[in-house]
């Protein structure tokens, strides 16, 4: 349970959230610069670590599948949003193969990344602060090359793109989820202000570099991820009515509440900027709560995994892997139809689920401030 101090903190945050809002978002950006974790990684971690994602990753959309670098069967939320803005998919900052173009932006998101600085035991070394520093180097190098007067503008953003572009953020999930392996719920809740201070510091650096359009996703319902249900939900009393781990969702909700308050603060502090908060948690929990209404057959069970119902998840063998378990060679295979599943591999969403989330975001109703009257494109919503 949250402490009395946490309750008082929540009351203060609620008051902050209902202060007047800032400017509304627009959808005519020349470029997008993205920061995040595996929810929006388009090849950063596979390039940086030299990983090769096995089939069936990427099989739904990308040809060949192994080249996508995405932790899903197909497109991620970032891909679908880029489509909606009529912009090309973002290339990963570290992916140098295939003559990548960064004309319309760059993606610094890396799977496993956290907002807090990485440690020796972290899965990913590219924490938020590192991603911001990568952007600073990227911008400096771009301006240096453009100043040489050569024909680099075909592949690189022009100087004004950095002030007119959209800066997107989807990070924080791993700070919370990873902490549950070594900390109590109260310790995790108490750490949230420190996490968000690090986030604010990074965002301020981007503002000081001329960034003025910020689109900040909150974190999703961590307790509904198959991986967390398998690890922390063995006791039914720890699950909510949807089959999600209550403590993980409680942490996500408090994180989001404080993140929302931070965006309100930034809206007032940066009067010349557009700071938008996007409620991903509400969208994803709606999908999990009413999955059958939206054409899905499974809300928590993984499409690609091992072990069969009810979760089809085994932490010893990840999607696409073949290992020897208990003396038998087994493979974590993909399901026959990923469109029936919300969860792809127990941690990440299927392309079908990402399509649902993007369709809800693009209504403009899940953002603060809302932007439904600011979109120049026609939406082709599946759901």
Q: Which residues are catalytic?
A: 38, 345, 348
- 3 state DSSP class of 299: strand
Closest C-alpha among 351, 244, 233, 353 to residue 291: 353
The answer to whether residues 74 and 58 touch, using CB atoms and an 8 Å cutoff, is: yes
Peptide bond into 369 cis (omega under 30): yes
The DSSP H or E segment spanning 33 is strand 32-36
The single residue listed with the structure tokens 């202060």 is: 19
The DSSP H or E segment spanning 138 is helix 128-147
Name the percent of the chain in helix, strand, coil, to the closest 5: 40, 10, 50
What are the counts of helices (DSSP H) followed by strands (DSSP E) for the chain? 11, 10
Instruction: Output the CA torsion 152→157→158→164 (10° steps).
Output: 180
Q: Give the distance, in angstroms, between the CA of residue 257 and the centroid of all CA atoms in the same chain.
A: 17
Structure tokens at 297: 């057959």
Nearest-angstrom CA–CA distance, 104 and 383: 28
The single residue listed with the structure tokens 């990923």 is: 338
Residue 81 phi, psi (nearest 5): -70, -40
Closest C-alpha among 330, 16, 335, 34 to residue 169: 34
Structure tokens at 40: 């929006």
Nearest-angstrom CA–CA distance, 131 and 169: 11
Structure tokens at 375: 């979109």
Closest C-alpha among 216, 182, 161 to residue 40: 216
């Amino acid at each position: 349970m949250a402490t009395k101090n946490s309750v008082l903190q929540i009351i203060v945050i609620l008051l902050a959230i209902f202060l007047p809002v800032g400017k509304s978002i627009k959808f005519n950006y020349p470029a997008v610069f993205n920061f995040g974790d595996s929810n929006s990684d388009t090849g950063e971690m596979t390039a940086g670590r030299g990983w090769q994602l096995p089939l069936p990753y990427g099989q739904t959309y990308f040809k060949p599948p192994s080249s996508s670098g995405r932790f899903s069967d197909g497109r991620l939320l970032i891909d679908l949003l880029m489509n909606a803005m009529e912009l090309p998919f973002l290339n990963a900052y570290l992916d140098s193969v295939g003559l990548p173009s960064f004309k319309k932006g760059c993606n610094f998101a890396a799977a496993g990344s956290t907002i807090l600085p990485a440690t020796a035991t972290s899965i990913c070394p590219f924490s938020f602060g590192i991603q911001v520093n990568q952007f600073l180097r990227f911008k400096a190098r771009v301006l240096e090359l453009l100043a040489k007067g050569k024909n680099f503008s075909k592949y690189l953003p022009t100087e004004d793109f950095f002030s007119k572009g959209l800066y997107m953020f989807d990070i924080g999930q791993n700070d919370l989820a990873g902490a549950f392996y070594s900390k109590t719920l109260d310790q995790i809740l108490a750490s949230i202000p420190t996490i968000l201070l690090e986030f604010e510091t990074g965002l301020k650096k981007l503002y000081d570099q001329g960034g003025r359009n910020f689109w900040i996703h909150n974190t999703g319902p961590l307790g509904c991820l198959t991986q967390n249900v398998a690890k922390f939900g063995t006791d039914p009393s720890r699950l909510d009515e949807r089959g999600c781990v209550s403590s993980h969702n409680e942490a996500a909700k408090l994180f989001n509440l404080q993140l929302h308050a931070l965006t309100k603060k930034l809206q007032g502090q940066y009067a010349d900027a557009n700071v938008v908060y996007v409620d991903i948690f509400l969208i994803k929990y709606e999908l999990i709560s009413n999955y059958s209404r939206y054409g899905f057959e499974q809300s928590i069970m993984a499409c690609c995994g091992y072990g069969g119902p009810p979760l089809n998840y085994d932490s010893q063998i990840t999607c696409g892997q073949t290992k020897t378990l208990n003396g038998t060679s087994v493979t974590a295979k993909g399901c026959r139809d990923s469109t029936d599943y919300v969860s792809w591999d127990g941690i990440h969403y299927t392309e079908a689920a990402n399509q649902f989330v993007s369709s809800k975001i693009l209504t403009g109703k899940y953002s603060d401030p809302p932007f439904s009257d600011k979109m120049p494109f026609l939406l082709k919503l599946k759901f």
